[in-house]
Amino acid sequence: MRQWFDNKIVGADSGDEVDWPRVIPYILLHLSCLFVLVVGVSWIAIAVCAASYFVRMFAITAFYHRYFSHKSFKTSRFMQAIFGFLGATATQRGPLWWAAHHRHHHKHADTEKDSHSPRDGFLRSHTLWFLNKKNFATNEDRVKDLVKYKELRWLDRYDIVPPIIYAFLVLMVGTYIEHVHPELGATKWQILIWGYFVSTVVLSHVTFLINSLAHVWGFRSFETNDDSRNNPLLALLTLGEGWHNNHHQFPSSVKQGLRWWELDISYYLLFMMEKLGLIWDLRKPDAAKIQEERV
């Protein structure tokens, strides 16, 4: 069980088979959702679930993806650490691991070197790629700009700790609701199951759909060297990540919805953070460049 808490215990492996000992917590995470049949449901549990989904999806899309992976804006070391931790609570590994694999994906998108191209099948693209042994370790050579921060290395090594802390905080929120507002009809265990377990599983699989569906289903605005597609439904569910063809054309752009009607909630929130002085130097292609390269 030590390897579940300390990623350094597991060495690099080139095997393509599923690493079953490492997968046990992932399986338990999904099975825990069945407890909704025991704890029931209430409107406040659904609200907590939705809020938990939204906040952590923003941490993944805006920081794990647009900041750590693509450096599409700048921020302070403090904000970097805060959102690195918040992103880790989404239970999608640490920021260094996430960024290293995503940078590799862009370099080899939809080729035989791409770890999660749908050309190799939906299931492999959706989940199996990160469950196998060869993709477990963090390739630090791909994130040399990030490994200098010891707090990010700590999050990457002990990536199970933030989800545990987050789940405990959700339980505390549930305890407060149960005892202070009993009229809402929710228990602390109901809030925990919906606020952490259900929210995390839904968040994870919606995020994975960018790998498995956004290179298959949708329309193309740019002739990129991959199969990336723009998908309005995925864009809504992922706060803007569904404009995936736009993203592959302009990977360093903080803004992925390039037309007025392409809803990009993550960008709108980042724009507000810029106005508050929390982030700065947002990178965007100019309108002439977009029009020039559009199909």
pLDDT digits (tens, 9 = 90+) for 92-127: 999 999 999 999 999 999 999 999 999 989 999 999
Q: How many CA atoms within 13 Å lie on the side-chain side of 142?
A: 19
Q: Is the pLDDT of residue 201 over 80?
A: yes
Instruction: Examine residue 82 and state whether it is found in any structural domain, yes or no.
Output: yes
pLDDT level of residue 216 (50, 70, 90 thresholds)? very high
Instruction: Examine residue 12 and state whether it is found in any structural domain, yes or no.
Output: no
Instruction: Examine residue 9 and state whether it is found in any structural domain, yes or no.
Output: no
Distance in angstroms (rounded) separating the CA atoms of residues 55 and 203: 10
pLDDT at 292 (0 to 100)? 83
Q: For residue 178, give Cα distances in angstroms to 38, 45, 124, 195, 213.
A: 16, 11, 41, 14, 40
Instruction: Examine residue 94 and state whether it is found in any structural domain, yes or no.
Output: yes
Q: Is the pLDDT of residue 14 over 70?
A: no
pLDDT at 15 (0 to 100)? 72
Instruction: Examine residue 34 and state whether it is found in any structural domain, yes or no.
Output: no
Q: Exposure pattern of 255-293 as b/e (b: 16+ CB <10 Å)? A: bbbbeeebbbbbbeebeebbeeebbeebebbeeeebeee
Instruction: Examine residue 14 and state whether it is found in any structural domain, yes or no.
Output: no
The two three-digit tokens of residue 264, written as one number: 């990009």
Percent with pLDDT over 90 in the chain: 86
Query: Into how many domains does the chain fold?
Result: 1
pLDDT at 11 (0 to 100)? 64
Q: Exposure pattern of 64-75 as b/e (b: 16+ CB <10 Å)? A: bbbbbbbebbeb
Question: Do residues 234 and 213 lie in contact, with contact meaning Cβ atoms separated by under 8 Å?
Answer: yes
pLDDT at 7 (0 to 100)? 83
Give the residue-averaged pLDDT of 158-177. Answer: 97
The pair phi, psi for residue 18, each rounded to 5°, is -65, 135
Instruction: Examine residue 5 and state whether it is found in any structural domain, yes or no.
Output: no
Report the relative pairing of strands 74-75 and 279-280 from DSSP bridges: antiparallel
Q: What is the pLDDT of residues 55-65, one digit of tens each?
A: 999 999 999 99
pLDDT at 5 (0 to 100)? 83
Average pLDDT score, the chain: 94
103 burial via Cβ count (<10 Å: 0-12, 13-18, 19+): middle
pTM for this entry: 0.95
Listed residue (291, 274, 293, 272) closest to 282, CA to CA: 274
Q: What is the pLDDT of residues 20-35, one digit of tens each?
A: 888 899 999 999 999 9
DSSP 219: B
User: The domain containing residue 60 runs over which residues?
Assistant: 40-293
Instruction: Examine residue 23 and state whether it is found in any structural domain, yes or no.
Output: no
pLDDT level of residue 213 (50, 70, 90 thresholds)? very high
